[in-house]
């Protein structure tokens, strides 16, 4: 029996952050619920062997597939992660700067509104909180700006970490030669469109 056939894929997270933190690039799958992130770490990632953790990035046009998996000391409950994401500046920075090694951590992604932040904190529109009108539903005061309400997001990176040394960027045509990426696309892409 091939162990590949038993991979269970999980994509119920909101994205991936790439941060320079603790002297190394960090790959940070993001969750909106801290309890859920902690439970996944405790139940799944904690049992991974660092030396067998793999990350694959498969670029398809303006998007990429984030694929993360590992052998586990508890294979019966193991999960592998994937997410289809738009290419971003941070992604490109990671691609060019990881140097073959990264930390894996989980993160919690929280949206904050004007009343929760200091006045100089920036909105997603690029303007500070104090440039939003608190008497008008937190509308941005810059005339050219389309922002109707202050909001910003904050990422909290959880402490526990694993070291990843198996990081590969692939094009779709090369996926067949990579068992983990092939399994992911085969199950989550190719076999869905028939």
- Binding-site ranges for Zn ion (CB under 5 A): 123, 125, 127, 140, 142, 145, 147
Nearer to Zn ion, 152 or 188 (CB): 152
CB of 86 to Zn ion, least distance (A): 21
Nearer to Zn ion, 97 or 126 (CB): 126
Q: Which residues pair with 65 in a beta bridge?
A: 58, 84
CB of 34 to Zn ion, least distance (A): 26
- In Å, how far are 119, 132, 162, 164 from 114, measured between CA atoms? 8, 8, 35, 37
Nearer to Zn ion, 121 or 172 (CB): 121
Contacts 24+ apart (CB under 8 A), 122-130: 122/152, 123/147, 123/150, 123/151, 123/152, 124/151, 124/152, 124/153
CB of 65 to Zn ion, least distance (A): 32
Nearer to Zn ion, 129 or 170 (CB): 129
Enter the DSSP assignment of 123.
P
Nearer to Zn ion, 21 or 113 (CB): 113
Nearer to Zn ion, 16 or 147 (CB): 147
Question: Tokens representing 28?
Answer: 């940070």
CB of 79 to Zn ion, least distance (A): 37
CB of 59 to Zn ion, least distance (A): 32
CA-based nearest residue to 160, from 6, 67, 73, 43: 43
CB of 142 to Zn ion, least distance (A): 5
Residue 83: which residues within 8 A CB-CB, separation 6 or more? 11, 13, 15, 16, 29, 65, 66
Q: At 134, give phi and psi (nearest 5°).
A: -70, -20
On whether the CB atoms of residues 18 and 27 are closer than 8 A, the answer is yes
């Amino acid at each position: 029996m091939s162990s590949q056939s038993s991979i269970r894929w999980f994509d119920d997270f909101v994205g991936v952050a790439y941060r320079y933190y603790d002297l190394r690039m960090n790959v940070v799958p993001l969750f909106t619920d801290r309890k859920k992130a902690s439970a996944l770490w405790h139940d799944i990632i904690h049992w991974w062997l660092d030396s067998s953790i793999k990350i694959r990035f498969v670029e398809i046009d303006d998007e990429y597939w984030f694929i993360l998996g590992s052998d586990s000391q508890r294979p019966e409950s193991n999960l592998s992660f994937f997410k289809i994401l738009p290419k971003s500046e941070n992604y490109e920075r990671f691609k060019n700067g990881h140097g073959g090694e990264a930390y894996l951590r989980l993160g919690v992604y929280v949206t904050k509104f004007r009343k929760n932040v200091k006045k100089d904190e920036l909105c997603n529109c690029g303007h500070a909180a104090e440039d939003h009108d608190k008497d008008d539903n937190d509308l941005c005061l810059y005339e050219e700006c389309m922002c109707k309400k202050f909001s910003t997001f904050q990422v909290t990176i959880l402490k526990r970490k694993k070291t990843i040394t198996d990081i590969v960027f692939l094009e779709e045509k090369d996926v067949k030669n990579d068992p983990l990426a092939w399994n992911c696309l085969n199950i989550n892409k190719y076999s869905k469109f028939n």
